[in-house]
Chain A
Amino acid sequence: MNAAVARAIERDPQALPRATALLVAVVVLWPMLVLAEFKPWALFEAGNLRVMRDFLVGFLPPVTSAEFLGLLLKATLQTLAMATAGIALALLLAVPLAFVMTESLSVSRIGPGRGRVLGRALRAAARWLLLALRAVPELVWALVLVRALGLGPGAGVLAIAITYGGMLGKVYAEILESSDTRPARALLEAGSGRVAALLYGLLPGAAQELASYTVYRWECAVRASVVMGFVGAGGLGQLMDQSMKMLNGGEASTILLMFLLLVLLADFLSASLRRLLA
């Protein structure tokens, strides 16, 4: 080890671990960049720049004709309805499964008893079911369900319900586990039922977190409507698809502004629900 390195280590005891971490990061990063075809200079090629510029120039001004705004309003309402219905159905899936999966609500876990193995098996089964629900993208679910329900919002709503049910269930269980579980445990040990332990032991501490995550998922479901445009489910996705295909930037930017408004609406909802549950 030469003198300079020795001096650096003397100044910073973390120098060697830091250098190792940097080296490992570079070794991992390199194949990743190659695989993802990381070519930032492609952004500045004359041809691409021109296409992008022409397209973006078309974005201004946003279309504000009464006819298009009417279409936009109808599509927005449809998207909101799809997201709301999808999340409502997703809750039907997620809440019971999260309830089953939450380990701190397990009665059999507390003492030696016969239910222990069965309880663990049930939790594992719920975990795998949730994983299977959310591992397949909503688009694929939608394509399968279109066979049964035909083109229209039905397949989209169910697809959102299935995937988001899987995600909500998992995150609900994680939130419940990471909040303070001692009240629930005390209740269970004193002989209360599981539902009471959830309502009085876990929910008071976790309600805010659960509500804001649910609203966030609703916001994601609104955005997922873009994916649902693929299965003819209508809404903002289909409108966006049409505008993009015709390279009508003015319409596209109006739709994007609507998405921005919806995000602000979701933020507002989330903040007010949190305040209500505080």
Chain B
Amino acid sequence: MNTGELSASERATAAAPCITCVWVSLALLAAVVASFVGLGIDYSGLFSADSLRSMGRFVAEFFPPDLSAAFVKKTAWAALQTLAVSALGTLLAVLLGAALALPAAGRFGSAARHATRLLLNLLRGVPELVWAALMVLAAGLGPFAGALALALHTSGVLGRLFSEALENTPRDAERALLDAGSGAAAAFAYGALPMVLPQWMSYTLYRWEMNIRMAAVLGFVGAGGLGQMLYYHLSLFQQAQASTVLIAMFALVVVVDGASARLRRGLAPAYA
């Protein structure tokens, strides 16, 4: 914002309190209050001695975790599977998202742009768990269904972010190539792609961080990995085993968060 040369009247408007902001803040506050009142949640249970004891007992059952060699091995295998599901889901989403980003950025006309945007919103709007339930029907139980579910939801998010990055990039280089007689594909690959690639990478890594958590939950609907183990042991009230699985989830999130943060540091900042 340029504050160098302001006239007296401009300064007066700038200093005036923003009435709209006040109304919006009040509306947000009202929405929050209405939510709490409407739900009618009784949080006194959270502090009563009885329920605290019951919660404490439940948490205490998780200790000590089952650290027998055989079970740790099984958990490690499931953790690898979850890692693979999250990575494969993200990778497929990048391919599909990039393919949809081109029409969504208006490269193929206005009609294609609106149609693709609607498709992207639909992909994004359907929750991962619902996609997973559908994919289990389509591909059978197993980790592949989970990877597909992640891919479908994430491609909706990434396609939109990719297309926004593409729209915000200056097109001079691409146009220069086109004017010099290169083909459309070559002009895109050498003129536009290098400009958006760091940001695309950054968005991708960021989504991968979120997908590793989601991949762990998808197991609950039969998509393999750590989630399936957790669901199995929790429903059999085997808390010691469930605790080991939770530790593995924690470790996985720590590793992926750290790796992604380190890789992203060199790239453009991205917040999906």
Q: B42–A154 contact, CB under 8 A?
A: yes
**Cβ–Cβ < 8 Å partners of A33 in chain B:** 84, 88
Q: Does A37 belong to the interface (CB within 8 Å)? A: yes
Q: Pick from B35, B51, B133, B272: contact of A147, CB below 8 A.
A: B51
Q: In the complex, what's the smallest C-beta–C-beta distance from B52 to chain A, in angstroms?
A: 7
| Given A81-B39, A148-B52, A226-B129, also A38-B269 (CB < 8 A) | no
Instruction: Specify which of A48, A137, A157, A226 is in contact with B130 (CB 8 Å cutoff).
Output: A226
Binds A, one of B104-112, B170-178, B247-255: B247-255
**Interface presence of B137 (CB below 8 A):** yes
Given contacts A140-B230, A148-B46, A276-B20, contact A174 B271 (CB under 8 A): yes
User: What are the interface flags for B112-153 relative to A under an 8 Å C-beta threshold, 1 for contact and 0 otherwise?
Assistant: 000000000110111111100110011110111011000000
A113 to chain B, nearest CB (A): 27
Q: Map CB proximity to A onto B23-57 as digits: 1 under 8 Å, 0 otherwise.
A: 01000000110111011011101100001101100
Is A101's beta carbon under 8 Å from chain B? Answer: no
Contact A149 B88, CB 8 Å, known A42-B139, A227-B217: no
Chain B binder among A16-24, A60-68, A254-262: A254-262
Q: Do A178 and B88 contact each other (CB < 8 Å), given the known contacts A84-B31, A137-B217?
A: no
In the complex the two chains form, is A178's CB within 8 Å of B38's CB? no
What's the minimum C-beta distance from B19 to chain A, rounded to whole angstroms?
11
Given contacts A213-B271, A263-B125, whether A36 and B55 have CB atoms under 8 Å apart is: no
Interface core residue of A38, A150, A157, A175 (most chain B CB under 10 Å): A38
Is B257's CB within 8 Å of the partner chain A? yes
Within 8 A of B (CB), among A209-228: 209, 213, 216, 223-224, 226-227
Q: Are B55 and A157 in contact (CB under 8 A)?
A: no
Q: Are B137 and A259 in contact (CB under 8 A)?
A: no
**Within 8 Å CB of B130, what residues of A?**
226, 240, 244, 256
In the assembled complex, how far is the CB of residue A241 from the closest CB belonging to chain B, in whole angstroms?
9
Known: A81-B38, A84-B31, A174-B271. A154 touches B43 (CB 8 A): yes
CB-contact partner of B84 in A32, A131, A175, A260, under 8 A: A32
Residues of B within 8 A of A81 (CB): 34-36, 38-39
Residues from chain B with Cβ under 8 Å of A178 in the complex: 269
B84, A35: Cβ atoms under 8 Å?
A: yes
Please report A residues at the B interface, Cβ cutoff 8 Å. 29, 31-33, 35-39, 42-43, 48, 51-52, 55, 77-78, 80-82, 84-85, 88, 131-132, 134-140, 143-145, 147-150, 152-154, 157-158, 171, 174-175, 178, 209, 213, 216, 223-224, 226-227, 230, 240, 244, 256, 259-260, 262-264, 267, 273, 276
- Residue numbers of B with Cβ under 8 A of A are 20-21, 24, 31-32, 34-36, 38-39, 41-43, 45-46, 51-52, 54-55, 58-59, 80-81, 83-85, 87-88, 91, 121-122, 124-130, 133-134, 137-140, 142-144, 146-147, 213, 216-217, 220, 224, 227, 230, 234, 246, 249-250, 253-254, 257, 269, 271-272
30 contacts between A and B (CB under 8 A): A36-B147, A37-B142, A37-B143, A37-B144, A38-B88, A48-B139, A55-B134, A81-B35, A131-B254, A135-B213, A135-B253, A136-B246, A136-B249, A136-B250, A144-B58, A147-B51, A148-B51, A149-B41, A149-B45, A153-B39, A154-B39, A154-B41, A154-B42, A174-B269, A174-B271, A216-B272, A223-B128, A227-B217, A256-B122, A267-B121
With A39-B144, A175-B269, A273-B24 given, name 11 new contacts (CB 8 A): A36-B88, A38-B88, A78-B38, A78-B39, A81-B34, A134-B213, A136-B250, A137-B216, A148-B45, A226-B130, A263-B125
